[in-house]
Amino acid sequence: LPKVGEPLQYNYSYDLLNRIIGMQTIRNLNVVTNNWTPVAVSDFGETVTYDPNGNILHYNRNGNATWAGQSLNMDQMHYNYLAGTNKLDNIKDDVDLAAYTTDIDSQADGNYDYDAIGNLVKDQQSSIDDIKWTVYGKISDIHKTTGTATTIHYTYDGSGNRISKTVNGVLTWYVRDATGNVMSIYTRGDNSVNTGHLTQIETDIYGSSRLGIDESKKDLEEAGATDNGVLFNFQRGEKVYELGNHLGNVLSTIGDVKLPGSSNGNEVVDYTPKVQSAGDYYPFGMQEPGRTFSSAGYRYGFNGKENDNEIYGEGNAYDFGERIQDPRIGRWLSVDPLQAKYPNESPYNFCLNSPIAFKDGDGRDAILITFPDYRIDPEIKIGTWKAPKVGGLGHAGIMIIDNNTGRATYYEYGRYKTTDGTKGLVRKYDVGKIVFGKDGKATEESVNAAMGKISQKSGEGGRIKGAYVISDKFKEMKDYADQKYNESNPGNPQYDANRPPYSLLGNNCGTFAADVVNQDPNVDQPSIYTPTPKNIVSEYVEEGNAEVLYDPTTKKTTIGEGDESDAKKDGNTKSTTNTSTQQSNNSTRNKKATNTKSSLNKSKMKT
């Protein structure tokens, strides 16, 4: 994009633990002929070293010398930690502080301070005097004393989603759907927007994921009376669409206004999009100087996460939902809620220090579910006689948990009739949010609520017996289940009236649930000779997956231990989701496959 300069290629190097240790910039793409003659330059280059725990020790970062004429050296940082801990005490920078204004400069000893469990509570250089945390590990308040004192206050819903932010009296409210996605944003007290009235300032636009934002400002206090008749108003220039990469990084945004182009000045021969913003990122998410353009601030950036610019300045803090990340230093502000499960890794490092290959927060849990007391209607009638329901076979489904949001979705396949009369239909519904505590265990309330809802809605209020399958193939499982849902529900473009029919012995609710799980090739598939729902789930428990039992009389769930080394092929307990060509045997923070127990519980627990 001309707004940020010529196209560049970035090459990355890794150590034996697949941690990023270097980045090199390549230029010389002829945009007219599309010929590439690679020439290496030092701009934006990086080198990184680590201690045995994965804490960054030295971080050298180059700036923009070739195009902006600035100093090549941007950062030569040395990280100093409190003895015997992973807590960062201060950073020393060998580069003159005048070289760049958006980076980290040398800090005094004791610059950072923490509470008893390792959450950051003070950052002297950034004039952060105090950070208060909720009992659930979320930031409640930040007090800053740069120039005019700044107070930031956050509130959350019962699922841990941010629902409001207040900065010096300016309130921002987030309206979310059942899965936690932001649907709309409102503000009050901002005098630059409708003189401070309550105003809807953003409406998120979605396809299968977020596509952009409608930024039309709707004054909700002085909307005025409407005229008689039909009032229709269409206005361009208020929608912004985002273009990203495999990590979800927002690389550029374009408006819904197209700009006419002409080769001779007499007629329009083509159109170009109106670019609203564009930018490149260093590996840990910091914006590259001179490679960032914005005509109006866009809410989302690195990994598609929200910019919390009021904390450290524009683009220097990102809200990942569970934690806040500082991209300048490549660390979280708080410890990993699941740190007890990963004693070999620093609880502050970001994506196992491989942020180009991984993104934080992929879901990775599934529970095969059967209702052992469920009776099946054989649908046999002879005259007025109707065969009674048959017990002993059960009914099955699968619950998939997105550990990025905690949302759980239940899928089931059965002989349900579709609107066009065919039989064999996949149904799905949201069963709430699974909440994980600081110990890595799911809270009793969230597990019991999900199981209770499934029991009532799909299992006639009966018992549940399940198999907890650990997998990092959440996307593959969900995509497969959604594909079958679309194929069997009329009205979807993928609807297939000629799909394989339901079969009690070969294509039933149990085989569907098993097919969803088997989208992970590392899951050890049992040999199933009698494919009834009850038997299929029992076989997966026999393979080493933890047994899940729900008792509707007590409304309690019991989860066994399981043995993941037995449940995975060849004992492979380190599954990964790799989002680039760089391969790794490590897993991201939310990929609990490194644990040989169910990720809902580190050891056997009753919930």
Highest mean pLDDT (candidates 65-69, 121-125, 339-343): 121-125
Q: What is the pLDDT of residue 392?
A: 63
pLDDT mean over 423-447: 78
Residue 453: alpha-carbon gap to chain centroid: 25
Averaged pLDDT, 542-562? 89
Give the number of other Cβ atoms within 10 Å of residue 209's Cβ.
10
Three state DSSP letters for 312-340: HCCCCCEECCCCEEECCCCEECCCCCCHH
CA separation for the pair 404, 591 (Å, rounded): 10
- Strand partners for 470: 365
For residues 17-42, give the mean pLDDT.
90
Residue in 251, 180, 249 with CA at minimum distance from that of residue 8: 251
Rounded distance, CA 299 to CA 11, Å?
28
What tokens appear for 201 in the block? 């300032």
Handedness of CA 228, 230, 234, 239 (dihedral sign): positive
Q: What distance in Å separates the CA atoms of residue 225 and residue 243, rounded to the nearest whole number? A: 38
DSSP-assigned letter for residue 4: T
Size of the chain in residues? 607
Per-residue confidence band for 259, with pLDDT thresholds at 50, 70 and 90 = confident
Report the C-alpha gap between 384 and 382 in whole angstroms: 6
Asked whether the beta carbons of 347 and 336 are under 8 A apart, the reply is yes
Average pLDDT over every residue of 271-278: 87
Amino acid at 28: N
**CA quadruple 578, 581, 586, 590: dihedral, nearest 10:** -20
* 359-394 confidence digits (pLDDT tens): 665 345 688 888 888 877 666 677 887 767 666 678
Rounded distance, CA 53 to CA 31, Å? 44
Residue with tokens 């995975």: 568
Partnered with residue 467 across adjacent β-strands are: 368, 547
Question: What phi, psi does 107 have (nearest 5°)?
Answer: -115, 155
DSSP class of residue 157? -
Q: Which tokens in the block code for residue 460?
A: 């006639």
Give pLDDT, residue 49: 98
Report the distance separating Cα 393 and Cα 395, nearest Å. 7
Please report where in the chains the tokens 């206050």 appear, as a residue.
153
pTM: 0.66
Amino acid letter, 140:
S
* Phi/psi of residue 445, nearest 5 degrees: -60, -45
pLDDT band for 252, please (50, 70, 90 cuts): very high
| Strands annotated E in 296-406 | 306-307, 318-319, 324-326, 331-332, 365-371, 381-382, 385-386, 395-401
Q: What is residue 436's three-state secondary structure?
A: strand
Q: What is the DSSP letter of 596?
A: S
Both structure tokens of 121: 């509570």
Model confidence band, residue 30 (pLDDT cutoffs 50, 70, 90): confident
pLDDT band at 188 (very low <50, low <70, confident <90, very high): very high
Q: Residue 154's pLDDT is what? A: 97
Lowest mean pLDDT among 106-120, 161-175, 548-562: 548-562
Helices 474-488 & 509-517, crossing angle to 10 degrees? 140
* 8 Å CB contact between 149 and 143: yes
The pLDDT tens digits of the residues spanning 292-314 come to 888 668 999 999 999 999 999 88
